[in-house]
Chain A
Amino acid sequence: DTAVSQTPKYLVTQMGNDKSIKCEQNLGHDTMYWYKQDSKKFLKIMFSYNNKELIINETVPNRFSPKSPDKAHLNLHINSLELGDSAVYFCASSLGLAGRGETQYFGPGTRLLVL
């Protein structure tokens, strides 16, 4: 019973390509997140959706576009991939009560390598 799942787990691609990472949660949570973890393990929030609405959009290049078809899914599409996009991308979810100190449940991460 995977709570938060991501596909694919590994992604190796060439510069300039477009790729997507999918995330699904079966916890019934209302809020989902995308984080980027760089090579130094620094974890930074990119986006957050609550009930399919964008609520956090950090300073992220326009090449990154999140899409939430329903509240159980939050996908991340990346256009024109660059070397600096290489990182581990984590999806997470939480119940959705704004800032009530909820636990975030993380997916296993997607390691993206851009060559």
Chain B
Amino acid sequence: AQTVTQSQPEMSVQEAETVTLSCTYDTSESDYYLFWYKQPPSRQMILVIRQEAYKQQNATENRFSVNFQKAAKSFSLKISDSQLGDAAMYFCAFLTSGTYKYIFGTGTRLKVLA
């Protein structure tokens, strides 16, 4: 069975600084997808970034980028130039190709300090 682990329950970052949120997963599959979702206090879950496992190039979306290490089964999220609006719960998620069952990690609460 696939599992997703986020070992940091809470992280803090100073505004304009960079922070990295870690995520590791366990799977025997070779074809899968990884995601980072953001859940602000409003509760609305929003996709931040996605990565296809067969692509070696790390995904980037503006200030958000990932460090995808397939052999190590690691998928960390880097947020550059942190903004107050980045404060939220961040969830790492995994999806085996060909299935619909998304598996979420336990989340990391990110606080951004002014």
Query: Interface digits, A32-44 against B, CB 8 Å rule (1 contact, 0 not)?
Result: 0100000011111
Query: Interface digits, B82-110 against A, CB 8 Å rule (1 contact, 0 not)?
Result: 00000001010001111111111011000
**Contact residues in B for A108 (Cβ distance below 8 Å):** 42-44
The count of chain B contact residues (Cβ–Cβ below 8 Å) is 26
Interface of A is mostly: strand
Known contacts A41-B107, A99-B95: A106-B100 contact under CB 8 Å: no
| B106→A45 contact, CB < 8 A | no
| A104→B47 contact, CB < 8 A | yes
Distance to closest chain A CB from B27 (angstroms): 13
Give the total number of A-B pairs whose CB atoms are below 8 A apart: 61
The count of chain A contact residues (Cβ–Cβ below 8 Å) is 25
Say which residue of A45, A50, A88 sits within 8 Å of B101 (CB atoms). Answer: A45
- A residues 64-115 in Cβ contact with B at 8 Å: 88, 90, 92, 94, 98-101, 103-104, 106, 108-109
What is A's interface to B at a CB cutoff of 8 Å? 31, 33, 40-45, 48, 50, 55-56, 88, 90, 92, 94, 98-101, 103-104, 106, 108-109
